[in-house]
Structure 1
């Protein structure tokens, strides 16, 4: 059975190997990228260009329900607002608030 000291030494050796391999592979990748850039005449600016974003226009949904007392509104999408839930629980109908 290995001692703690031996295992820690093995871990240190593996950490060193990992760091060396990582650095070597990184250098190889950089060399390959530079070679491809030279072959195709690319610059760093060429790599950073992006397609222009298409702006989405926010569409407003028409109001379907309005609380006449407070002026609060609801489009009918998503969860019912608290004011509408409370009014319905109090005996009102959803149609009472329809615009």
Structure 2
């Protein structure tokens, strides 16, 4: 029967092997995809993917249309991210979110 130390060493070796195999298979897959793209003249746009800049963020972000509008000031909110202060204040004073729907 194997000792705990031997089993832990085996697990560590297997985990290293798994990681190396993942990297190798991923690199092979990328090479095959690039080869097919070159063969057929495909771009990322053809695949429906987003292109990214060096920062890794999406290069072409689209603006989301507003879902809520403050009729008094014309301020808008898309419904994404933190609620703007004007909306927080209105909701705190008892108004309903539905009152601001565009």
* TM-score, normalised relative to structure 2: 0.47
Higher RCO by CA contacts (8 Å cutoff, separation 6 or greater): 1
Instruction: State which structure, 1 or 2, has the greater radius of gyration over its C-alpha atoms.
Output: 1
Q: Which has the higher helix share?
A: 1
